[in-house]
Each structure stands twice: as structure tokens, then as C-alpha cells.
Structure 1
Amino acid sequence: MTNRNRTEERTGFQESAPYRSSYDLQTDFVMVYGIDKTMPERIKKWKEKGYVIHLMTGVAWGEYQDYLYGKVDGRTHWDEAQKNKQGDHISHGVDVPYMVPTVAYTNYLTERIKIAVDAGVEAIHLEEPEFWVDGGYSDAFKREWQIYYKEPWMPPHESEDAQYRASKLKAYLYKRSLDRLCSELKEYALVKYNRFLRFYVPTHSLINYTQWRIVSPESALIDLPAVDGYIAQIWTGTSRTPNVYEGVRKERTFESAFLEYGMMQELVSGTERRMWFLHDPIEDNPRYTWSDYKKNYFKTVVASLLHPEVARFEVSPWPRRIFDGKYPSEENHEVKEAIPEEYATTLLNIMHTLGNMNQDDVQVYGRQEKIGILLSDSMMYQRKNIAAQGSEAKYDGTDAAAVEKEEDIKLLNFSHFYGLALPLLKRGFWVRPVQLDNVRRFSNYLKDYRVLMLSYEFLKPEYPDLHNAIAQWVKDGGILTYVGDDGDPYHKVREWWNNGKQKYDSPREHLFESLGLTTNIHAGIHSVGKGIVGYLPQSPDSCAESKQGADALREIVKSSLETADQSFKWEENNYFMLQRGPYRIAAVMDESIHLSPLEIEGKFVDLFDSQLPIREKIVLNPDDNVFLYDLNYERQNNQVEVIAASSRIENLVHDEEGFEMVVKGPEKMKAVARVYSARKPQHASMVTADKANEIKWEWDESSNTILLHYFHDSDQEVKIQVRWEND
């Protein structure tokens, strides 16, 4: 993990505050946040510290008061703020509304961001293109409706059709905005500076946006050539949103994060675009304790690392609030505490290790086959229960009390999706969300899957030719489980399956016809060509509401697999584990087939422990997880190798007398490094320009590793020198 070039951009963070040594994390790049008057100076200071410089700003909201109040063009633009049916603006803060992305607003953002281009940034991140489901009532949106649909605006709350059409328009508007903005600024950078400017979209997962009732372009961004990649904004705040499994509603941070990260990697699967997975050791909700943050942070880290196709990470948003912030103590929530010293060291160990996760050698332990759940952007279009007319509470993960009514809680549970996912995930199956919309974008998109699940009770196929591709996949040997009772009122929206010559009561009927099945077939297993269709005619949320419902889903999938392959053995377990190069990642689930622990034997460095201890046996109980370095993994024939460290390690060199390395990190922060050394050390010291001090160190004979203890100093270069014993 030494001498990685920053231009690889493996790790980064975002920060709106000026440079400060207390949160100088020494990642590859920094995303300077916000386009206010201080932006050029902030860019300059971070660049002086050696970072590759990106810019991040909100595309749906921000400190854009000069635009709202007409200082830009002499016309106030509050009519472009998102508004709910009560006539209230949907806001992110005082004078910071979520915006309808009109052409004028897009032009305004383009001009503001040109200042960052002029300041020399290499990439720009336009975060969170979000339109709330309960929006759609502002004058600007009504105008856009007329332009897009060529008909008078319809109040979205009056019918499923109006809600569905409003949501499709919301997604289109942000797609249009990003396309115009990115394309124009790329041209500007090339014309004025002959510089290729990259654009990325930090966005929540399709799963989370649907659950929180937000509309965003999501997979539609794949169609924009000016977009170069994404940040998967998944963290404890999204993944701890409660869901229901076997009738129990609670937080399931690991399982939700596992599914969310899996969903996001579909945005880059089969493309050359980049994806960074986000982690956040804190979250937007400041009311938790450090121990709570730590427990859930570890779960999201492990969940992300179980997806080895992605090896870039945003290691933190807002490091200032982590390393300078204070949060409730365990004993008294009225008392606020700074980050515990040991936890700060642990975070730095993890953050720097993440830069080394691009490993070609991947080994999965136990069951390996992926089971895909077909999901679509259209999930976001039907997130309003027109009949119930709930309280329309705006939920963003920071205030659990915001959702109180039973109908709103039921909607927030998103049990239609989790009813399909959790019964298999909880039994150790590698469940992977699969982007239905991509079936049209990429040939052979489904080739890596033998088993898929689908329901149109909470999403809709936007094009009929999707069914041709699915039918051909089944006929060629695929196993499809369809779950649904045709009870969703959104089946009646004006769409291709019930317009013109198409007269189907639901899109399922067209799918079954494409498969060569009658629309009223009985529940059970049906052969289609070389493949199998398993049909469970019940709403997928019923699979979440009881163990009986979960068992029914497991049984239909099991029967389908056994029918397709008589040698197939249905095996369930309660853990996931894989190895990425020398790194072992594992998680054990509760609520699973049994409560037995997972025992891992060997010789490992525990990367979740601040002291990087060596362990020969790890016992993981349900709800535990671990991130390890496998010391028995075949390493390069190096005399010296850094196993893990709380620092950015540069200029590691060795000679006959010993080795030395430059260590960089946040000011005065306690740091450790475990280093493989072919020879036993005699002493170790920390060397700066004006002095050299001996430091504490420990030698482990069994692993030939030395554990070094030292402190960072960001004002001057710090070297760690280790001298070997004479032979």
C-alpha cells in the first residue's frame, strides 16, 4: 500500500470548509464543496497540499439565493422551487429549496461552475439530482408538464396516472439538466483550456430513492455520454432505514447496504465509467453515539467490500464533522464527546487500506451463484398511495418521528422489494439487484445470471421489447420467478400495455404471452424452452410480512432450481465471506437459518482494531463482521512491505541497515503501522527536519512484522526509520 500515484484517484473525500490539518486525510483527491466566493481560495489551499482537485456542488439545491431573488437576471425564480400540494416549498434549509431543473436554472449553474473550471479543477461532481415525490405543484413544473406532455397539468395526487406521469417528467427534467450542463462545460474546458473535464454524479441508490420517495434519473444517466461515472451515496443514514423481514420491522444496516451497493454497481457494469463507493463514519443524524456510528459504519464497509467489482471509495463526506465534531456520550446524551482516539486511528487504518482494494484475485467462500432481482427506475414513479392519502411526511433519514401514520410507515418499509430480497439474502444467497432498463442498453446483459426474480407490483416495464429479451433468456435456460397478484392500482396508468392495440390488464400478461404461457396459469413451476418460470401469484410484500410468506418465496425458487437441475443441492448458511487478494471480508447475519458462529482460522491482521493485532482464530457471531489482512497470502518477495497503516505511506526504501518511509496524515493524530520486515528490527525513530525521536514499537516473531506507534505532523515531512539488528 505504498507509493500509489494520486492520479489513480482510488480514494477521496468531500469538504466545504477550508483546508485544516486536523482533517487532512491524505487521500488521492479532494472534492472541494460549493461554488461560493471562497471556492477559488479553497481550491488553491487543498492543491498546495498535493491533492488532485475535484469540485462538488448540489444540482438540486444549494446556496443559490442570488438566482432565487433575481440578482442574476432581474427576475425572481421562486416559482421554480419544488412545491407540495399544500403550497409549501420543499426545502433543504432556509432559503435553500429543492429546485425544478428548468433551462434557466441549468444555465445559471453552468455559469457558476465555469468559475471552478477557470480555477483548474480536474473533475466536477453534480450531486443528488432529486425531485421529491410530493413535489410537482410549482408553476415551473406545470409549464414543463405542458411542454412535455402537450396537455394541461394534472395534480399528481388525484390519480395513479397523474402521479406516474409526474414522476417520469421529474426524472426527465434532471436528465435534461445534467446533459446540457455537462456537455456545455466540457466544451468550454476544451475550447478555453484544451483540458478534458470529467463529470460525475454522486447519487443515492435506486433502492434508497424509491424507499425515501424521491425521483432521480438513476439508470437514465447511462444514456448521457457527458457523464463519466458516479459516487454511490450509501452510508448508515440510508441503510439503517428500517424494513420488514418475517413480520419484524427493524434496522438491517448490513443487508440493506449490501443490496444498495449491489444496485449501484449496475450503473457501471459493462461500461468504462468510474464508480466510487461512499462510506460515512458519521451521518446526517447527529443524535447517535460514537459506538452506534462505529458499529453501523463497519457494516457498510463490509457490505461494500463484498462487491469486488468496485475498488474506488469516497472514504468520508465532511471529515471535519468526524474529526472536529462532538456527539452524545453513552452515559449522558446531553454531554457531547469528541471522537475517541482509538476510533480515529481505526478510521485512518481503514481509509488507507481502501486504496489497495483493486485486487484481481477474488475467492468466494461457500455458495457463489448470484440471484438477481430485476428492478427499474419506474419504481420511483409509483411511490404515492392515492387511495390512502397519507401525511406525505418528508423522510430523509434524519428524523424517524417524521413518519408516524401507519400508511406512511408501510410505504416507507418498501416491503415489495425487501419481501423478494431478504428471504434469500438472509439465508446466504448472493442476491443482486439487476437493472431491468439495462436489458435494452446492453446485449447479453443477463448472461451472468441463471436465476432472476421479478414483480410488476411495484415497478413497470417502460418498453415492451424488454419482454422479448427476458423470454429469450428463459428459453435459453434461465430460471425466472415471477411474484405478483396483479393487484397494483398502477397497472391502470396510461402505458404501452393498455394503449392502442395493446389491451392487457397488467404488463405481466404481456410478459407471460411473450413466454408462451397463458395469462391465467396456475401457481407453480412451468417449463419454457430450456428454462423454467416459477409463478407465485401473491403480492411480494406478503413475503415480508411473515415467515410463512418468506418460506413460500424460498420454496418457489428452490423448486424451480431443482426442476431445472436435478443434481442441484439447496444449501443455506448465515454468512458471506470472500477474499480480495490478501484481504478477507466476512459478515454473519442474524435472523438466519441458524445462530452458529463463523470461525476463521489462519494468521490475520484485524483491520477493524486500532492496534492492528495479529489473530489466529476469529469467531464471528450473528450480526458480527470483520475486515482482515491474510498474512498467509502469497506476497511479493519484498524485504519490507506495509501491511496496514493509519497514514499515507510514501518513499518506502530499504538498504542493508534498515528501512524508512514518509508518513502523512491529520495533525497530531495517533497513528500505527504494521510492516512486514524480513529482518528483526533493533530500534525505530520518527525523524523530522529538526529532530529524531525514538518511538514505541513491537516485534511479532511469528509473522515477521513490526507494529510502529507514532504521531502525524502535517507541517513538515515525517519519516519513520527502522534499523535492523546486525546479523
Structure 2
Amino acid sequence: MAYIREKTEELTGYQAGGRFRPSVDLDCDFVIVYGIDDTMPERIREYRERGYVVHLMTGIAWGEYQDYLDGKWDGRKHWDEGQVQRDGAGVNHNPTVPYMVPTVAFSEYLTERMKIAVDAGVEAIHVEEPEFWDKSGYSEAFKREYEIHYREPWRPQHEDLDVRYKSARLKAYLYCRTIDRVSAALKEYAKVKYGKSLRFYVPTHSLLNYTQWKIMSPEAALIGIPSVDGYIAQIWTGTSREANVYEGVYKERTFETAYLEYGVMQELVKGTGRRMWFLNDPIEDLAGYTWDNYRYNYIKTATASLLHPHIWHYEICPWPHRVFEGKYPRLQPRIEEKIEDSIETEESKPIPQTYATLLSGMFQLFGDMEQKDIAFEGDVPGVGLFMSDSGLFQRTFPDGIVTGEPIEERFRRALHKNSGNAVDEGQAAALMREIEADDSMMKDFIQSPAFPQFFGMALPLVKYGLPVKPVQLDNVRRFAGYLNDCRFLILSYEYIKPEAPDVNASLISWVRSGGTLLYIGDGSDPFHGISSWWRQSGYENPAQHLFEMAGMERSPKDGGYALGQGRILVWNMVPARLCLAKGLADEYRELVKDGLRGLGADWQYRNDLTLHRGPYIISAVMDESISAEPKVFRGLYADMMENDYRIIDNKEIGPDGNAILFDFSKIEQEKFRVIGTSARVQRADLTDGSVRMRLKTADKIRAFTRVRLPEAVTEVSAVDEDGREVKVSAEWDEATQTLLISYDSEAKAVEVTGRYGKG
């Protein structure tokens, strides 16, 4: 039954660093207790006693591991294992917590520390954020690892392309090795000592975000570790507000970026049977924003996450105490500091009650997303854009390729990044013309966090209503049939590289079977020159090998080329240039449209992405699109973004707007169903004359529950778990045959009884 389930399903959960308290008793399915300090066993006990499935999470790249660093664990100091950048400065999470070079000794230390959590009875362990910064790579520990791994003397990564690429690959590998060792050891420990099957997960930022922020991390490579059971896709306002360039404008595009971030992460579990939770955060690590800003961006990321119907598990909130107990905006003297270290001011306010209720409702809504009936409006199915872990390895050019003032400074100064101010369009256009004309500026643009090589191809499609999905290039050689549900694929080796020639062989086989491959690139990426399989085979770049396998010239002209039942389309263009002006974006869209037409698919430009997911309609209308026309829904709906699940017969969404609707036409035959609720429905029973529901949510929430019933309710009463009467309001809607009840929560279960008909 909708919304009513066992907590063992683990559909929704959150992570918490502190002790249990009523303000965070959100009655989700599981709680991830954070940190392996001395209070950890007691915190695990507290949450388990309140009915939660309990996991443990700790950082695998950083944490309060002073006993290891100071030599108390094994008698040897390990400060030389902190990450170090070129100037000798440490790369730190905070002043006393370095990001680690994950050595074998460090993996053994983490294993021993986390055995305590296994002893305390957790069901699963999460090691979050395996992060090795691109700017690091100069510590003594990394030098040792480099020489062991490559069997050659370490060289500074800023010297040439080859050592830069090799260093980056090694950074990702080291965390893959550590996760493999720790997960296998802990699973063995749990099985031998307790006969228990421990689960092991990796919470990680999206591959897109790590590529933007230049953080090396194993992403698709984690698929090769058998003891990893799944992931949390750590996507939220803080990652998705990273600015990018579209049609010459550099600004935040939270919804579109989040949509692509969630999309690339669902590919980590496709066909593997592993678990993926999508994370949403009602605020973020930076404490200086207003509640209105947090709410605006939360709605963007939440909507984006719901537009991927093959994932229906969610981390509903990291650190709920900072959401429901914090006051914002706060002064944050150094943005890299933790939010707890920020300072309240006269402007700091607690969470608005309406936002607290909206969040409580969203937390419950996430638990009803396993829906089989799914369809995008105007869908052109099977369109993918390739991404790869190798994109991480070529994010910074070595010395000598880029000169002049860093382009990131120009962006911040001229284009008002993250400010909400109007963009100076004349200044922006002038900067884009400079980038287009200057090779060094273009290279600097390519290595900037705007990541234009990818977003240049992705945003023109998403903005015009095509639900393109990022596809993992690495997986075409891991899984037979990985591309079977794809019809049209877009590829460029200007920002990613194929691991081996069999990647190209798989792509050619897919084209021969009827697929259309659009290749965009001109061979200008300097990283084509690294020591690699294609150079060893006599090719200047991996695209030449791809084309030759297709029976084409190594450097074909623009156009279409038949291959078996499919086609290869070629456009000799740097993908980043598609960002710079509307004209190139339009030309690109028409190229994709024509390619799809050849497959019998008719892509009609539109300014929305709208998914019908069971009885729910999830819709985002975008600005900067084909038109500013609103999206209008007519029918009988409950508005899921209104705290009372307001009944409406039409909904209009303008550009930059979002909606989640419940469509009553989908449940015409159902006599009883929870439509929406900001309190968990723990139990519901119907008799001939009454309905009885047990509801529970956190403290100080105005809770609303709308439920469909067989007949109009004539009397409603409620008592809490202590037997005290609870004041409850009730409204009946005849058109939908739904009862809306509301009450003020005190973090206690409430038994609501409604009588109807002659009962």
C-alpha cells in the first residue's frame, strides 16, 4: 500500500553526526550514524531502540584520525601521508584534518576502527567521498606509491601530459584499492565473528561534479569491486549550483546540472543489481544563503532526482539537525570551514514552518517512488551522451599550454558567478569572443570548472526538452548489451579517452546493429598525445581508430556515413565551442534532430521535461529555451508542493518553475489510498464504519495527511501514544473523495480515527 511499508525496505534514510533528539525523528527507514569516535556505539543503540535500521558512515579520504597521524595507532607518525600541492602546502579538509594519500597502512587502520561498528551491530557501512585532489600529488607518500605502481622514478605532474595523466589515474586507483581492502576485510570479519552478511556502500559525488571540481575518485571503476553493494549519489545544491556556460552566459543552472548529475550516477548500478540512493539536501555546506535560496535550489534538485524513474531509494537529508535546528544565513569567515563553525547574526532565522512541513512531505513522498508505469512527455527514447572516469584524468594541462590570467578570475569578475545579479550581456559576449579567438584561453576554458566540453553538448539538448542521459563509456566493455536500450549516442574523445581498443569495437558493433553515433571532435585535445594504446598502434587519437574500424578515412569530413544498419555522423568541432553562442547551439540541435529523424524519431523542441511516474507528474519548465510559454496541466490533481496537498483542476508552470502533481485519474478504482502526507503512516486499517491511522513525524511540524476513503467522514478524533487527546483538523473534498487531516506534531505517534457513513 502506498506510503505504508516496513523500514527494512530502506527506501529513505539520513545521516546524522549527533545524538538522537526529537527534532530529527523524521521516521524514515534507516539512519546512518556518522563517525567512529567513542560515542558511536551509544548513538547506534539510541537509533536502533527507536526502530530505525542503523548504518555507519565515515570519511575514507579525511576524518578525525589523529591517533593514526600522530603515531598512537602503530607507533609511526603518518603526517607524510597527507595530500600536498605543488607549493608544499597541505591539501586539508580543515586545519587539523588533511586529505589522505590512502596507503595500505591507512586501509588497515580504517578497518580496525570500523570493526567497532560491526561489533555494535550496524547493518551496513558507508565510506564516503574517496577524494584525491588534482592539485595534489607532491607528498612523500604519493611519490612512494607512484614509484611502486609504475616502477619508475616519480616526476612532478606539472611537467608534461603523460605524467599528469598517469598521476591522476594512480590517484583514483589508490582509493579503489583502499575500498577493496577495507570492504573485503570488514565483510569477512562480520561473517566469521557473527555469521552476518554486512553490506558496504560508497557515498560519492557525481562523476560530473568531481570532473568539474578536479577531484580524482573511482566512479565506474567501483563496479569492479565485488564487495561493494552500492552507492549514495551525493548530489545537492552545493554541487549542482556550480556555474556553467550556455549560449554565452555563465551562471548557475541548478536544475539542469542536477538532472545530468543524477543521470550519470544511475549508470553506476544499471544492470548490476546494486543499490543506489539519490541524496537531496534542504540546505548545503555553505551557511551564508537565505532560507528562500535554500528552498529554491532544493526544489530544483529534488525535482531533478525524481525525473530518473529507475532509482527509487533516497537519502532524504544529510545532517538534519542543521536543517531543523540551524539558523540562516550565517556568517562564514572562510567558506571551507564547516557549517558548525559559522556565526549567527541578526539576520539568522530558524527554518520557516512552511518549509519544515514541505520537507517532511517530500521525505514521505520519496518513499512512494517505485512506480512501474513511467513515460516522458514527447519522449525520444534512447538518447545518450558519453561520460567516463577518464574525463577526471585530463582536467588540468601541464605548464606551458595555458598562459595569461586564469579564466576563472575573468568569469567571477565579469559574469557574477553565484551572485544572482544580472549578467552584463555585452561583457559576457566580449569574453566569449576572446575565448573563441585565443587558443590559450580556449584551453583554459576547457580546464575550468565550467567543464564546457561536456556541458556544451548536454545543455542545448536538455534545455530544449530532450531527456538525454549521460552514458558510462567504461561500461560498454564491462557488460554485454549495455547499450541495448540506446538508439542515438553522442561521443567525443576531446575530454574522455577509451581505456582499450575493444571500447571502439563495441561501439562499431552497436552502430552496425542499427544505432546512430554522432562523433564531435577535431583531434585538438593535447591529451591525445599521451603514451597510450592508440599512439602505440600508430593513430594520432582514438577517434582515428574508431573511424578506421568503421571502414572510413582516419580523419573524415563532416557528414553521415552508413555502417551496416546504422550510421556514424561526424562533426569536426571542439565541443566547448558549442557553449559560446546560440548559433552553434542551434546548429548542433538541428544536427541531432536530423539524426533522430533518420531513426524515425521526431524530436519536437519544448521547454519542459515532464515525467509521468505512476500517479505522479513531475515537471520542470526551463528558461533559456525555445519559448517562455507556460506548461499547463488540466485535470483533477493534488499539488504535492503545497503543504495541504491542495486539490486543483489546473496547474500552470512558467519558465524556471517546477511542479509535482498527483493525478487522480490514475487511481479511479482505488477506494483507499494515501495521497500525500508529511507524517509517516505507520499503519492504516479500514472497517465498515471507520478508518484508523497511526501517524508519526518529527517535533514541531505542522503535519498534513490527505487520504482517499470510500465515504465522507463525519467525525475525526486523535490521541497520541501516551493516550492524550490531540487537536486535529479535518476537511472533506467530495470531488476527490479525500480527507485532509492536520495537527501539530510533538514527535509522538498519533492515532487518528475517522468515522464515515453509518459507522
Q: TM-score, normalised by structure 1?
A: 0.95
Find the aligned partners of 2:566 and 2:233 in 1 and give their Cα distance. 34
Q: Secondary structure at 2:645's aligned position in 1?
A: coil
1:529 aligned to 564, 573, 578, which one? 564
Contact 2:445 2:452 survives alignment (8 Å): no
Alignment of 1:34-45 (within 5 A): 34-45=35-46
Give the 3 Å change call, closer, same or farther, for CA 116–568 of structure 1 in structure 2: closer
Matching residue of 2:337 = none
Q: Does 1:679 align with 2:711?
A: yes
Q: CA RMSD in A?
A: 2.1
1:580 aligned to 585, 600, 613, which one? 613
Matching residue of 1:345 = 357
Q: Secondary structure at 2:641's aligned position in 1?
A: coil
How many residue pairs get matched?
714
Give the 3 Å change call, closer, same or farther, for CA 41–391 of structure 1 in structure 2: farther
**By how many angstroms is 1:680 displaced?**
1.4
Q: Could you tell me which amino acid in structure 1 is paired with residue 610 of structure 2?
A: M
1:668 aligned to 700, 711, 723, which one? 700
1:625 aligned to 653, 658, 672, which one? 658
Find the aligned partners of 1:520 and 1:679 in 2 and give their Cα distance. 71
Q: Secondary structure at 1:413's aligned position in 2?
A: coil
Residues 67-87 of structure 1 deviation map (CA, whole Å, 9 limit, x = unaligned): 111111111101110110011
Contact 2:236 2:280 survives alignment (8 Å): yes
Find the aligned partners of 1:668 and 1:575 in 2 and give their Cα distance. 36
Q: Could you tell me which amino acid in structure 2 is paired with residue 702 of structure 1?
A: A
**By how many angstroms is 1:159 displaced?**
1.2
Find the aligned partners of 2:25 and 2:546 in 1 and give their Cα distance. 54
Contact 2:453 2:494 survives alignment (8 Å): yes
1:599 aligned to 614, 632, 645, which one? 632
Give the 3 Å change call, closer, same or farther, for CA 368–393 of structure 1 in structure 2: closer
Matching residue of 2:691 = 659
1:447 aligned to 484, 500, 505, which one? 484
Q: Could you tell me which amino acid in structure 2 is paired with residue 720 of structure 1?
A: V
**By how many angstroms is 1:408 displaced?**
7.2
**By how many angstroms is 1:552 displaced?**
2.5
Q: Could you tell me which amino acid in structure 2 is paired with residue 652 of structure 1?
A: A
Find the aligned partners of 2:40 and 2:274 in 1 and give their Cα distance. 27
2:551 aligned to 492, 512, 516, which one? 516
Q: Does 1:124 align with 2:125?
A: yes
Matching residue of 1:473 = 510
Matching residue of 1:463 = 500
Contact 1:328 1:334 survives alignment (8 Å): no
**By how many angstroms is 1:32 displaced?**
0.2
Find the aligned partners of 2:279 and 2:643 in 1 and give their Cα distance. 21
Find the aligned partners of 1:137 and 1:410 in 2 and give their Cα distance. 20
Q: Secondary structure at 1:190's aligned position in 2?
A: helix
Matching residue of 2:150 = 149
Matching residue of 1:59 = 60
Find the aligned partners of 1:709 and 1:147 in 2 and give their Cα distance. 64
Q: Secondary structure at 1:31's aligned position in 2?
A: strand
- Worse-superposed segment, 409-418 or 75-84: 409-418
Matching residue of 1:94 = 95
**By how many angstroms is 1:392 displaced?**
11
Q: Could you tell me which amino acid in structure 1 is paired with residue 707 of structure 2?
A: V
Find the aligned partners of 1:363 and 1:480 in 2 and give their Cα distance. 24
Residues 131-174 of structure 1 deviation map (CA, whole Å, 9 limit, x = unaligned): 00001111010000011100000101111111100010011101
- Worse-superposed segment, 362-371 or 270-279: 362-371
Q: Does 1:719 align with 2:743?
A: no
Find the aligned partners of 1:306 and 1:693 in 2 and give their Cα distance. 38
Matching residue of 2:643 = 610
Q: Secondary structure at 2:648's aligned position in 1?
A: strand
Q: Does 1:388 align with 2:402?
A: yes
Contact 1:134 1:392 survives alignment (8 Å): no
Q: Could you tell me which amino acid in structure 1 is paired with residue 624 of structure 2?
A: E
Q: Could you tell me which amino acid in structure 2 is paired with residue 488 of structure 1?
A: D
Contact 2:396 2:447 survives alignment (8 Å): no
**By how many angstroms is 1:400 displaced?**
6.3
Residues 669-712 of structure 1 deviation map (CA, whole Å, 9 limit, x = unaligned): 21111111212112222202332244211111111111111122
**By how many angstroms is 1:367 displaced?**
2.3
Find the aligned partners of 2:589 and 2:701 in 1 and give their Cα distance. 50
Contact 1:525 1:559 survives alignment (8 Å): no
Q: Secondary structure at 1:633's aligned position in 2?
A: helix
Find the aligned partners of 1:333 and 1:265 in 2 and give their Cα distance. 40
Find the aligned partners of 1:363 and 1:644 in 2 and give their Cα distance. 22
Percent identical across equivalent pairs? 49
Find the aligned partners of 2:476 and 2:446 in 1 and give their Cα distance. 33
Contact 1:302 1:625 survives alignment (8 Å): yes
Matching residue of 2:379 = 367
**By how many angstroms is 1:576 displaced?**
1.2
Residues 360-412 of structure 1 deviation map (CA, whole Å, 9 limit, x = unaligned): 11132212323111111000001113222787999xx9x969xx998479611
Q: Could you tell me which amino acid in structure 1 is paired with residue 458 of structure 2?
A: A
Find the aligned partners of 1:307 and 1:142 in 2 and give their Cα distance. 42
Find the aligned partners of 1:89 and 1:552 in 2 and give their Cα distance. 46
Find the aligned partners of 2:174 and 2:407 in 1 and give their Cα distance. 22
Alignment of 1:247-646 (within 5 A): 247-328=248-329, 335-386=347-398, 387-388=401-402, 407=444, 411-499=448-536, 502-562=537-597, 564-565=598-599, 568-634=601-667, 637-638=670-671, 640-646=672-678
Q: Does 1:49 align with 2:50?
A: yes
Q: Secondary structure at 2:80's aligned position in 1?
A: helix
**By how many angstroms is 1:293 displaced?**
1.0
Q: Could you tell me which amino acid in structure 1 is paired with residue 555 of structure 2?
A: N
Find the aligned partners of 1:602 and 1:392 in 2 and give their Cα distance. 50
Matching residue of 2:437 = none
Contact 2:252 2:418 survives alignment (8 Å): no
Contact 2:12 2:313 survives alignment (8 Å): yes
Find the aligned partners of 2:258 and 2:596 in 1 and give their Cα distance. 27
Gaps (5+ residues) in structure 1?
none
Contact 2:446 2:576 survives alignment (8 Å): no
Contact 1:2 1:652 survives alignment (8 Å): no
Give the 3 Å change call, closer, same or farther, for CA 76–620 of structure 1 in structure 2: same
Contact 2:86 2:138 survives alignment (8 Å): yes
Find the aligned partners of 2:277 and 2:118 in 1 and give their Cα distance. 22
**By how many angstroms is 1:655 displaced?**
2.0
Q: Could you tell me which amino acid in structure 1 is paired with residue 362 of structure 2?
A: I
Find the aligned partners of 1:301 and 1:346 in 2 and give their Cα distance. 12
Q: Could you tell me which amino acid in structure 1 is paired with residue 534 of structure 2?
A: W
Find the aligned partners of 2:622 and 2:636 in 1 and give their Cα distance. 24
Give the 3 Å change call, closer, same or farther, for CA 666–570 of structure 1 in structure 2: closer
Contact 2:726 2:743 survives alignment (8 Å): no
Q: Could you tell me which amino acid in structure 1 is paired with residue 280 of structure 2?
A: H
Matching residue of 1:710 = 743
**By how many angstroms is 1:5 displaced?**
0.4
Give the 3 Å change call, closer, same or farther, for CA 325–536 of structure 1 in structure 2: same
Q: TM-score, normalised by structure 2?
A: 0.91
Q: Could you tell me which amino acid in structure 2 is paired with residue 675 of structure 1?
A: V
Q: Could you tell me which amino acid in structure 2 is paired with residue 350 of structure 1?
A: M
Contact 2:14 2:32 survives alignment (8 Å): yes
Find the aligned partners of 1:333 and 1:505 in 2 and give their Cα distance. 59
Gaps (5+ residues) in structure 2?
331-343, 420-430, 432-439
